[in-house]
Structures are given as C-alpha cells and as structure tokens.
Amino acid sequence: MKVLIACEFSGIVRDSFIAHGHDAMSCDLLPTERLGPHYQGDVRDILTSEFNLLIAHPPCTHLAVSGARWFKTKASEQKEAVEFFLMFANAPVKYICIENPVCIMSTIYRKPDQIIQPWQFGHPERKTTCLWLKGLPLLLKTNNVYDAMMQLPKRERERVHYEPPTINRQKNRSRTYQGIANAMAEQWG
C-alpha cells in the first residue's frame, strides 16, 4: 500500500507503516527527525490519487477549542486552517484519516468518527484525539492502561497539557504516540 503521512515531521507513523511492509512517506514543512522517506515542503505539491491511504495531521493552532479565547483575533488564519483541513477531507485518496484535537471542525465539517486516548494504546497519558475517517474502520484499542495511568500524578498523566512554554512545545505536543502509530499500521495497512 502507498501511504502518505501529511504534516508529520517526527516520522513515527511513517516508520510504523514501513515496518509493516508498506511504501510510506511523510511530508512536512519541517525536516524529518528520523531518516526515511520524507518530502520537506508543501503537501499540496505531492497529494495525488497515487496514494492509497492518507493520514493527515493538519496544524491545530487555529482550530483547537483550547485556543477559543483567541478566535476573534485570528479570523483569516482560522479560515486558512479550515480550508487546509478540508483539502485533506476532499483529497483524491480512497482511505483517509484526519487527526486533530477537539476543534471547530466538529461543527464546520462534521463530528469525528472516533475519539481516542493514548492510554487505550499503552501510553499512560491523556491527550484527547479526534479522528475523521473515510473508508477506514474505527481504530481498535490495543493496550488499555487506564488504571495504571490513574495511579500517576496528574502532571504525568496530562504531560502534554503541562508541556512548558519552550521553543519545542508545539513539536512535543504534536508527536503521535508510538502505540497509536502501530495500531494504525497494523489495522489499516
């Protein structure tokens, strides 16, 4: 299967699909953190029907409801972010997954098909993640560690929420958990 992981600099999802025998590449404006097939540039330059599966991680900066207090001051940025998200939803690819946190696309586009948490895939943390799917089944939980997570201090189980304001904050908050990437490759590949 030919797989495009859009807006991924980490290579985590890409490498999971490669490990399962697929022809996968990532694409982002940033360079990849892991050596492997990666297009550094605008995804619109390479998004074609030659891909069988598209997993898109569009930036959530202007979409996530966690930033609602700033929506009034960024109408044009938000409009561009919505159009970028919808480009993925309308891509000429048979199977599509668009990933984002709880965001305005639930109202503008449609409700997500599924909401997942890292603790459902072996990571004792919370990070509510919405999936909009086209032609794909819901992602099945692989390793529920909820009880173990609840034994941890709140700052550990909500590490992403408490990420300090550093130069790498956005990157650290946007990485896909390995357990989720593995489930995608195993179940959708």
Provide the pLDDT for residue 167. 84
Helix (H, G, I), strand (E, B) or coil at 132: strand
State mean pLDDT over 49-68: 86
Q: Which of 64, 76, 85 is nearest to 170 (CA)?
A: 64
pTM over 0.85? The answer is yes
pLDDT tens readout for residues 61-81 = 778 777 666 666 777 788 999
Confidence of residue 111 (pLDDT cuts 50, 70, 90): very high
Phi, psi of 156 (to 5 degrees): -80, -45
What's the gap between Cα 75 and its chain centre?
23
pLDDT tens readout for residues 119-165 = 999 999 999 999 999 999 999 999 999 999 999 999 999 988 878 78
Domain parsing of the chain, residue ranges: 2-115+130-139+173-188
How many other C-beta atoms can be found within 10 angstroms of the C-beta atom of residue 39?
Answer: 15
Question: For the chain, what percent of residues have pLDDT higher than 70?
Answer: 96
Q: What is the DSSP letter of 171?
A: H
